[in-house]
Structure 1
Amino acid sequence: MTDSIIPENVSTAPVSTAEKAKSDVLLSVEDLRVWFELRRFGFGIAGYVHAVDGVNFQLAYGEAIAIVGESGCGKSSLMRTILGLNKITKGRITYGGQSIADMRGEQLRKYRSQVGYVQQDPYGAMAPFMSVERILEEPLVINTTKNREERMKRIERALTEVKVSPVLDFLPKFPHMLSGGQQQRIVIARSMILDPKLMVADEPVSMLDASVRVEILKLLRSLQEKYKVAVIYITHDLSTVRYFSRRIFVMYAGNLVEKARTEDLLRNASHPYTKALLTGTSEPDANNAYSYKDVPPGEPPNLIKPPAGCRFHPRCPFIIKGLCDVEVPPDFEIESEHTAACWLYKK
């Protein structure tokens, strides 16, 4: 296990509620904006894609959250920025109180070793010319000083944790020799092998059979609870998050439009876009009596020139002319720990 870049709190003095709340935060995203340049040959910058545009949330140690939204809403861009793969245009991401944009060299390497990543396509996530043993050994060689014997013990433990057995039979196999479910278990084992404090799971079950999805979600949940790993679960399917995440953040066109505890959002979805997502889920909550006629028409907006005001207003059936299409809505409180960025809830 790598050394933590987070200083240990060794003080025995009593702390205030505000200080305790701050110390409980593992990851903080503040007014995050990630814009990608559009260039025309010989003409410089032609514009920007506003992939992530003003996102705010906090993640506590050991907490599981879900970020949901349709394709193109900015989920993957947000995830890649948290992983340190995208450059921050504006705003701040802090991990353990330290800005990831300020991390360099060894410090950045340690951060990345503490953030596990589960990809959507397990086959594409693994080098086809590497055996399972080499795939799992590589992060240990790069990030630890363990000898060969210690590495093999850790690899065998990781495979046992993801319920791949018999372990010795799988070590020499290559990715193409495994089923989709087995491939994803190997990817999860690799993400956990350095004992991370945070795991980012990008649509980890979308390419798997329905019967396998439940097994993989249960596996992720058991590992999260056993090792107290914070998890950011990214998906477009609300039906898979209710048994996994404590809170749900709904993303649309680069913004978080609704934030709530999972049970509260499924019971009392408030933003019109969230309600639209619930109509399309394969397993809708019986208490949310929406039908397919409630799905709003149209497509997500062009993020090169996003609409003024609320970005959902061109598709919203409840638009307030002169307000929704002009002013960006703030987060209005619906109930405790439940907010929606919608002018319908202005007091």
Structure 2
Amino acid sequence: MPLAPFPDARFRRTRKSAALRDLVRENTLTPGDFIWPIFLRDGEGIEEPVPSMPGVVRRSVDLVAQAAREAHALGIPAICLFPYTDPSLKTEDCAEAWNPENLSNRATRAIKAAVPEMVVMTDVALDPYNINGHDGFVVDGEVVNDATVGALVKQALSQAEAGADIIGPSDMMDGRIGAIRGALEAGGFPNVALLSYSAKYASAFYGPFRDAVGASGALKGDKKTYQMDPANSDEALRLVDRDLSEGADMVMIKPGMPYLDICRRVKDRFGAPTYAYQVSGEYAMIQGAAQNGWIDGEQAMMESLMGFKRAGCDGVLTYFAPAAARLLNG
């Protein structure tokens, strides 16, 4: 639509006051947009700082239940669980991944007992349990696809049995969404949702996360044979298309801020529920710069989160969830 020429058209008129800015704001951010990633560790009464992620801790299961109560009070609807597995439990067969009593499954049950309304999302990938640090089985130096998918199905079923509401396959193996969806349907879990990490890039921004789950030291080589090339955009659309056709209910782009163009393309093309993961490196950069006094941490946090909504995301996984929710709640 053609605009009136200046001075009849003055864009600054609607920026004059906070009330006017509120009236014309195109996107809004609420605590209901957040999924809060939480790191687990064994023990009791433990909150262990993650040095490369200022303000983030690994929590024992009892304190995860307490955190869920706090999140619910803030209006955060979902928590995503990531375990720091004892190195003695990491094996080549990754059997701890589907142990009914592993950290993730115990935490799921504890959260559901404490706050039944809290949505629990779990991570499906073998890297927290793999002595090689990879998301799949390693055979003769290669991360093998099809055998890994079978293991991921067992892992997903164990999480569904523990009470998970959303299962998040983050492994990037081909065919795993269809296999997991089929197993959930056959296993009596038709209402468990799949939020697929459909476009997960081989990124340098994951470093602090790998510290948090204890995968950095175990990882041999890199993950470029199964995670996406950061140069590719059209491939992301093909992957999302495939995952939706195999039964994914929601899709995710990871990392977030360097890939906002992917978020927008996915939302425009498919219209499906679309999420981004503001990953550990993104979080650590903002926190580190804020602690050095180089940026206003609160403003940068909120600006970064609004960027996801503007790019078309329905929500975001972010370590900032509690801090942002407190600000939004006033």
The TM-score, its normalising length taken from structure 2, stands at 0.31
Larger proportion of helix: 2
Pick the structure with greater CA Rg.
Answer: 1
Larger proportion of strand: 1
The TM-score, its normalising length taken from structure 1, stands at 0.30
